[in-house]
Structure 1
Amino acid sequence: MKKYITAILLTAVLISCGKDENTMTINGNIKGLKLGTLYFQRLSDSATYVNIDTFKIDGDGKFTFETPIEEPEVFFIYLDKKDQNPLNDRLMVFGESGEINIESTRDYFTVNAKITGSKLQEKYDEYRQIKSKYSHKNLDWIEQKFKAAKRDKKEKVDSLNKLIDQNTRRSYLYSINYCINNKNSEVAPYVALTDLTQTSVKYLDTINNSLSDNVASSKYGKLLNEYIGEIKKVKDSLKK
């Protein structure tokens, strides 16, 4: 009898461990949301959003999504809050196995979102925080440039254009160095695919060749390698 009970307990533990290793559970709470629908999504190969699951909110902003996951992947949660305003309604989540928690608000779903439980999400958020500083500088200088152009201040416009170009180059260099310095993280090839498609293929090659074996064989590592291959094919065809 003791052997039978032990066998049952061991089986339960093994099932539980298997679920932890291959399942992602997202628990969330959207303060102020009483009515709406959440769509759990991923991007298809054609870059369109595909619904994996839906969750209807009726009186309580708490929700749960659960899905099998074999490797880290970016998912999206789209909030349709029935207000005819699509802004700030699609939240990116860098998913991995285990439990992920999301706390946010109805009116600023993406801006106020706090995501915990995903180390890759934390790493990506750190990257985006620094990256946004470059974007904010450019936006400020672009605004100044328009004002200078209205006043016909050509020298000021030229000076601001140089600042914008220099800042843009610094932004690209930051992303390139980030990818190389984080070669052991799946965030690196994802950043290369989303933020560096306009840069020289030699830099993409450098990033690709620096990736660890595990990251190179991950979803975004393979996609980066394929993307570089396609670029080289196009360049070769143009030489002929």
Structure 2
Amino acid sequence: MKRFIAVLVFAVVAFSCSKEKGNMVVKGQIKGLKKGTLYLQKMNDTLLVSVDSVKLFGDDKFLLSDNVESPVMYYLTFDGNTQEKKIMFFGEPGEITINDNVEEFGWKPGISGSKNQEVMDKFNEINQQFKLKRLDFIAKDMEARAKKDTAAMDSLEKEYKKMVRRRFLFTTNFAVANPDTEAAPYIALSELFDANLYLLDTINNSLTSRVKSSDYGMRLQKFIDDVKAQEKK
């Protein structure tokens, strides 16, 4: 019996120690999340896969990890969550701290320890203003259409196109100003996929050789190559 218990204890210890920490450690606290499973996820091709998870029982602090070969976007979710409620953050080697609460999960989490995430935070702060302006344009356009006010509709369309051009130029200039971060090609891919190819080329040509060889750097190059190939047909 004693031998069985000793073997069992050894097996439990061996199992708990078998999981090694990756070169990225994500830790923090989700206030109010006392029970459930927290998942660390990232995209694998077109699928969202879980790379680590932790069960919480009475303690809302967590620690997750993964091996990051190239900085990419990660997602923090918990069971029972909807697809919309998640924390997105730029993962990279090192220790990243994420603090949030279960009631407003993913709304305004506190994230520190990621250089790329700092760049994304600065970008999102200004880009959010463009998103609000877009919603304002949509509301005004719906009102004009309801009134069949063609003059207002034409005016709004012209102003909207100007706003889109301003957003494209801001996004391009922002990415060019951060050529040594993987956030730059990510921003190009996520925000300028429908922009003039010249803007994408401008960003791509500004990237450092290290970033060009990163995951998002190579994706940006492939995207540009594919667009150019399509234009030749």
Question: TM-score by structure 1 length?
Answer: 0.83
Which residue in 2 is equivalent to 1:15? none
Which residue in 1 is equivalent to 2:129? 133
Give the superposition deviation at 1:225.
0.8
Which residue in 2 is equivalent to 1:44? 44
- C-alpha distance in 2 between matches for 1:134 and 1:226: 28
Alignment of 1:45-84 (within 5 A): 45=45, 47-80=46-79, 82=80
Query: In 2 relative to 1, CA 195–129 (structure 1 residues): closer, same or farther, beyond 3 Å?
Result: same
Which residue in 1 is equivalent to 2:172? 176
Alignment of 1:49-128 (within 5 A): 49-80=48-79, 82=80, 86=82, 88-128=84-124
- C-alpha distance in 1 between matches for 2:151 and 2:36: 52
Which residue in 2 is equivalent to 1:190? 186
Alignment of 1:15-26 (within 5 A): 23-26=23-26
8 Å contact from structure 1 (residues 88, 108) kept in 2: no
Give the superposition deviation at 1:169.
1.3
- C-alpha distance in 2 between matches for 1:29 and 1:120: 21
Give the superposition deviation at 1:93.
1.3
The letter for the 1-side match of 2:219 is L
What is the DSSP-based 3-state SS (H/G/I as helix, E as strand, rest coil) of the residue aligned with 1:166? Answer: helix
What is the DSSP-based 3-state SS (H/G/I as helix, E as strand, rest coil) of the residue aligned with 2:52? Answer: strand
What is the DSSP-based 3-state SS (H/G/I as helix, E as strand, rest coil) of the residue aligned with 1:39? Answer: strand
Deviations 1:4-63 (A, max 9, x none): xxxxxxxxxxxxxxx99x711100211122222222111112x22011112222222211
Query: In 2 relative to 1, CA 122–160 (structure 1 residues): closer, same or farther, beyond 3 Å?
Result: same
Matched, 1:228 2:227: no
Give the superposition deviation at 1:69.
2.0
Which residue in 2 is equivalent to 1:7? none
Give the superposition deviation at 1:79.
2.3
Q: Which shifted more, 171-180 or 70-79? A: 70-79
Match of 2:198 among 192, 195, 202: 202
Which residue in 2 is equivalent to 1:6? none
Which residue in 2 is equivalent to 1:155? 151
- C-alpha distance in 1 between matches for 2:108 and 2:185: 26
- C-alpha distance in 1 between matches for 2:40 and 2:189: 22
Which residue in 1 is equivalent to 2:34? 34
- C-alpha distance in 2 between matches for 1:230 and 1:132: 29
Q: Which shifted more, 220-229 or 157-166? A: 157-166
Deviations 1:159-208 (A, max 9, x none): 22222221111111111111112112211111111111111222212211
Aligned length: 214
- C-alpha distance in 2 between matches for 1:160 and 1:202: 26
The letter for the 2-side match of 1:161 is E
Q: Which runs of 5+ in 2 are unaligned?
A: 1-19
Q: Which runs of 5+ in 1 are unaligned?
A: 1-18
- C-alpha distance in 1 between matches for 2:168 and 2:78: 32
8 Å contact from structure 1 (residues 179, 191) kept in 2: yes
